[in-house]
Amino acid sequence: MPRLPSELEEDELDELPPIDGDGGDGPEPAADLEDIGGPETNDPVPGSLVDDSTAEDEAVDATALEGLDGDESEGGWLDEPVDSPDLDLGETALLDSGEEAQPLEDGEEPMAPDEDFGIGEAADRSGLDFAEEGPVNADEELRDEDLPALDADDAPEGEGRAEDDGLLDERVIGDEPLGLPWAAHPWTRVGPPLGLSNVGLPGGITAMTCAARGVLVSGRTASGAHELIRVDLEGGRQALRAEGLQGGRIGALAADGEVVVAVVEGGRLQVSHDVGGRFEATPMPEGVAAASVALASGVLWVRTRTGSLLSARPGKLLERCSVPGSVVSLTGDGSGGVVALVVDEAGRPATLVRGNGDGTVSWEAVQAPASRPAACLGAREDHVAYGLSSARGGVVVRRRDGSWNRLSWDGRVTALAIVDALGTVVAATYSDADDTTGLVRLDGEGPASLVARLGPTRDDAEADGRTLALACDDPRGVVWVAGGFGVAAFAMR
């Protein structure tokens, strides 16, 4: 049994050379190459450290091979006793390969084949690409139509895939659409993207209004017929019976409780008292065609194509209201009344007309900067805003204190709304450069900023990025947007 270093006699240890090399002995002379052996001989010098000879010609000691023949009955080299039996090697179970041995793993379940270390969900990953879209034969040429679209979805049809187009909702670092900065807290989309086909109106949307449990949207179906569809926040859709609408194009919608009013082709009015189940015609003054409508406190308000303002209380006929000019836009004020913007003969904003819950009207002079208004208007109590029709877009805002201010940015305002009692304005602004709509927010406390961006993401002949209607759903705290891209809802922060 070998002795441990502590058991060795001191006199058995050779004297070590000094660490600093000062032993009195001179340096050993460098070895000459001739002493080691020349390149033409393989005979090593006796006592030399260089020995490249092998033991191929020597006889093999039979005792050195004992236990290496694989015979388990005689025992192998693993069963030999260790030289130091007192040495602690740890738990025996770690080396025992019997039935009771514990695995070396830490006890976790083995990783599934489709796990990817948390980089992405396995359900979202597609399998290997075996080039099904490419050529089959060796001499077949690869055509452009054989390749998938760059924005194509890998999901098969019918499994959570939008057959039509998604809705653009992206923010790129350094990207400032319309020349405006992104808000510190952009709005969050509510529910799934609803492109034109997802809504069931691939031919395009024509009007939208808030209603019970969501919004009512009108548009053209794949067959060319016009339908009225209810859409909720979960992405569900329901085609309403809409008896009496005669399948004509719906140009404007308004809803208040169970009552729904639609402006159909030719400027005719159709009214439903069962949330779009059945419509009946409403008598109009002779030669008058409706352009837009609003419902507030049970009173029906109508803007005609010639710029007149009509009103009708429940059960009464429409009557003309006296206004000093031509009405270009009409909207509810969120408190049981309506607001209409009136322009003079030169097309400049001149008067704000307020319609009250009893059907009467009052006037207020507009002290706004010279501008030409677009046909989009928003109001909330004493706050009013209207869009500008110039290519250099923007809005004019009247605050509660009576002040008027004009704010401009790139793009054309196509729809707007005032979304709270503080007078926060949200304007849908269309950019021709990239065919997208940016939702611009003005809260009165800072500069204008972007809270969302919308537009088609697929090449659709009927799709575009222009917003047609924007509505604030107060009970649910969301803003609905509809246009050539489909329908989207955003939670306001």
When pLDDT is cut at 50, 70 and 90, the band that residue 118 belongs to is very low
Residue 27 has pLDDT above 80, yes or no: no
- Whether 214 is in a domain gets the answer yes
**Beta strands 319-321; 309-312: pairing state:** antiparallel
pLDDT in tens, 205-226: 999 999 988 999 999 999 989 9
- Whether 209 is in a domain gets the answer yes
More confident residue, 486 or 72: 486
pLDDT number for residue 492 = 87
- At 281, give phi and psi (nearest 5°): -75, 140
pLDDT in tens, 164-188: 445 665 554 446 778 899 999 999 9
pLDDT in tens, 421-439: 999 999 999 998 889 999 9
The mean pLDDT of 278-285, rounded to a whole number, is 93
- Whether 77 is in a domain gets the answer no
**Beta strands 349-355; 338-343: pairing state:** antiparallel
The residue segments making up the domain with residue 278 are 181-491
Residue 5 has pLDDT above 50, yes or no: no
In the numeric block, which tokens belong to residue 232?
Answer: 């909720």
More confident residue, 80 or 416: 416
The mean pLDDT of 226-252, rounded to a whole number, is 90
The answer to whether the Cα torsion of 47, 53, 54, 55 is positive or negative is: negative
pLDDT number for residue 17 = 53
Buried b (16+ CB within 10 A) or exposed e, 224-262: eebbbbbbbbebebeebebeebeeeebbbbbbbeebbbb
Mean pLDDT is lowest, of 9-18, 183-192, 308-317, 351-360, for 9-18
Residue 240 has pLDDT above 90, yes or no: yes
Look at residues 200, 203, 235, 230 and name the one whose alpha carbon lies nearest to residue 217. 230
DSSP letter, residue 42: -
Look at residues 434, 281, 301 and name the one whose alpha carbon lies nearest to residue 377. 301
SS3 labels along 102-121: CCCCCCCCCCCCCCCCCCCC
pLDDT number for residue 141 = 53
- Whether 281 is in a domain gets the answer yes
Look at residues 284, 281, 209 and name the one whose alpha carbon lies nearest to residue 240. 209
Sheet strands (E) in 443-485: 449-454, 467-473, 478-483
pLDDT number for residue 446 = 73
- Whether 174 is in a domain gets the answer no
More confident residue, 196 or 263: 263
- Whether 36 is in a domain gets the answer no
More confident residue, 71 or 130: 71
pLDDT number for residue 192 = 82
pLDDT in tens, 50-66: 444 444 455 555 554 45
Look at residues 234, 154, 172, 224 and name the one whose alpha carbon lies nearest to residue 198. 234
Q: Kindly state the percentage of the chain with pLDDT values over 70.
A: 63
- Domain CATH code at residue 463: 2.120.10.30
Contacts of 103 (CB under 8 A, 6+ apart): none
Residue 449 has pLDDT above 70, yes or no: yes
pLDDT number for residue 246 = 72
Average pLDDT of the residues of the chain = 75
In the numeric block, which tokens belong to residue 51?
Answer: 């020995």
Secondary structure class of 482 (helix, strand, coil): strand
Distance CA 128, CA 439 (A): 40
pLDDT number for residue 71 = 45
Domain total in the chain: 1
Look at residues 332, 335, 379, 328 and name the one whose alpha carbon lies nearest to residue 351. 328
More confident residue, 184 or 110: 184
Max mean pLDDT range (42-46, 95-99, 363-367): 363-367
pLDDT number for residue 315 = 86
Secondary structure class of 194 (helix, strand, coil): strand
Cα-only R_g, the chain? 42
More confident residue, 181 or 446: 181
pLDDT in tens, 91-107: 444 333 344 444 434 44
In the numeric block, which tokens belong to residue 342?
Answer: 């009136």
When pLDDT is cut at 50, 70 and 90, the band that residue 370 belongs to is confident
When pLDDT is cut at 50, 70 and 90, the band that residue 16 belongs to is low
Question: Of all helices (H) and strands (E), which one includes residue 198?
Answer: helix 196-199
User: Residue 218, class by beta-carbon neighbours within 10 Å (0-12 exposed, 13-18 middle, 19+ buried)?
Assistant: buried
Look at residues 153, 151, 165, 225 and name the one whose alpha carbon lies nearest to residue 194. 165
Residue 319 has pLDDT above 70, yes or no: yes
Mean pLDDT is lowest, of 58-67, 221-230, 242-251, 452-461, for 58-67
**Beta strands 449-454; 436-442: pairing state:** antiparallel
In the numeric block, which tokens belong to residue 54?
Answer: 């092998």
More confident residue, 435 or 160: 435
- Whether 473 is in a domain gets the answer yes
pLDDT number for residue 392 = 73
The mean pLDDT of 380-393, rounded to a whole number, is 87
- Whether 149 is in a domain gets the answer no
